Amino acid sequence: MTLPKLMNRYLSDLPETAYQAQAPRQPSAPYWLLANLPLGKDLGLPEHTLTGDAGARLWSGACLPTDAEPVALAYAGHQFGMAVPQLGDGRALIIGQLMHADGDWRDLQLKGSGPTAFSRRGDGLAALGPVLREYLVSEAMHALGIATTRSLAALGSGESIAREFGPEPGAILVRVARSHLRFGSFEYFAHRGDEAALKRLADTAIAWHFPTLQRVPAPLRYQQLLSALVDQTAGLISEWMRVGFIHGVLNTDNMSIAGETLDYGPCAFMDGYRHDQVYSAVDRGGRYAYNQQPPIGQWNLTRLAECLLPLLDDDQTQAIDTAEAILDEYSQRFQQHHERALLRKIGLLSDTTDQRRMAVELSNQLLALMHTQACDFTMTFRLLGEHPPSEPAQIERLKWWFNHDPAVDDWIAAYTQALSAAAISEPERQAQMATANPLYIARNHQIEAAIDAARQGNLKPAERLIRVLRTPYTEQPGAEDLAQPPALEQIVTTTFCGT
């Protein structure tokens, strides 16, 4: 089977201690679950490579291209606040890179491809449920316009694997990313006191993801790298907040240097709004709750900055002062990103300071109302954007939606007045809101229904769901059920890691 030529820049650009060569495990009878033909086209892959038995053998790792050089990456991390000096790819192998249509390289990673040197007594395999969840959610995030790793293919292995709640069908995900460099990649070398490797890693990260910084002399180059990562992280987390996404396991090893949402384990999109919502079964203390994601972003950046100190200045005291000054920018940058997202969500983007302040206050008041009444996060904003807020019928709809909370009357009046003061027309308001507020998200109950059907050999629900999620901001005839919040008996309260 002919493929574009693969390269593996990890072998040429990183220290040898940053990875381990490893052949994938041979699955017994690989078969197709889902194939992402549009992404394959962007990667220059012939369509026939994503179909048929030969394609299934290729992407499951049973028959890799001759120029593939699979490696498992080494990294460390802080997991739920605790430092772990060595983690690494325990069930994933990067087989190489292909050039994307945008002119940038993309990693191709097989997830669930068997044990590696970093498996820590795990089997290195993946189950069908978590593989389909990551495929659906990562592609949904991409369609929402949020930076993310993507999914090229999901395949069954033809085998049963042992998991906590019983045997599961085995599966392999082909993940696509700008890179798999993580905050934890820097922690790995910092734990070992290997400053030469740390510097090489930093220079590689700059070359791959911030190439304009290559012309900046050291140590300013590394200071600007940290600053760029501060802004990138603030922007990414503000986008998660915009759509009600909760990552669920926001450890430093799950923070991408490329600025992509990485590792869809016990993640979830919120249904009923609670500012402290938690779905992840492993997040027992709520460390990574919805409203804790912004401060955790800064906490994780601080751990990264600690690793970079030897590169920021030869004088340690000055390096610490420099790092603290850069990290102090995070709160303001997050607030800027987040406020703009909030104002788009209620259609009140404005250039004047007073109007912007009023709009932010209205946004926060609306969120407080939603929290009190546990209103569906996604549908509240879609409802608000459907009709003029001063229209009597719309006022009645909103009153009913908020369970006739007396505070909603005052909010509607203040919102209508703010729109008038900002001279925002109704078509302009609706246009702003339509691009900020999706109609379709990857809801927990819909994902679980698609997975349950796939376990029985029926992939039609998953195929339908991914088809609708590809255009999340536009109403699609026949997809009305996929826009609806779960019924009481459908609510999924807990999500689980795939390991």
Structure tokens at 48: 């026939």
Question: How far, in Å, CA of 53 to CA of 386, rounded?
Answer: 47
- Give CA separation, 138 vs 168, 190, 260, 398, in Å: 22, 30, 10, 32
Categorise residue 175: left if φ over 0, alpha if ψ from -120 to 50, beta otherwise.
Answer: beta
- 452 in catalytic set: no
Beta carbons of 113 and 172 less than 8 angstroms apart: yes
Question: How far, in Å, CA of 184 to CA of 405, rounded?
Answer: 46
Of 89, 203, 253, 376, which residue is the catalytic one? 253
Residue 85: predicted pLDDT = 96
Q: Note down pLDDT in tens along the chain; length 499 residues.
A: 678 899 999 999 999 999 999 999 999 999 999 999 999 999 999 999 999 999 999 999 999 999 999 999 999 999 999 999 999 999 999 999 999 999 999 999 999 999 999 998 889 999 999 999 999 999 999 999 999 999 999 999 999 998 877 899 999 999 999 999 999 999 999 999 999 999 999 999 999 999 999 999 999 999 999 999 999 999 999 999 999 999 999 999 999 999 999 999 999 999 999 999 999 999 999 999 999 999 999 999 999 999 999 999 999 999 999 999 999 999 999 999 999 999 999 999 887 888 889 999 999 999 999 999 999 999 999 999 999 999 999 999 999 999 999 999 999 999 999 999 999 999 999 999 999 999 999 999 999 999 999 999 999 999 999 999 999 999 999 999 999 999 999 999 999 886 6
- Give CA separation, 280 vs 140, 243, 252, 265, in Å: 19, 17, 17, 9
Structure tokens at 278: 């938690």
Residue 355: predicted pLDDT = 86
Beta carbons of 126 and 60 less than 8 angstroms apart: no
Structure tokens at 331: 């709160």
CB count, 10 Å around CB of 135? 28
**pTM confidence score:** 0.96
Residue 264: predicted pLDDT = 96
Q: Where are the alpha helices (DSSP H) in 156-213?
A: 183-191, 195-209
- Give CA separation, 261 vs 224, 252, 406, in Å: 22, 12, 39
CB count, 10 Å around CB of 364? 12
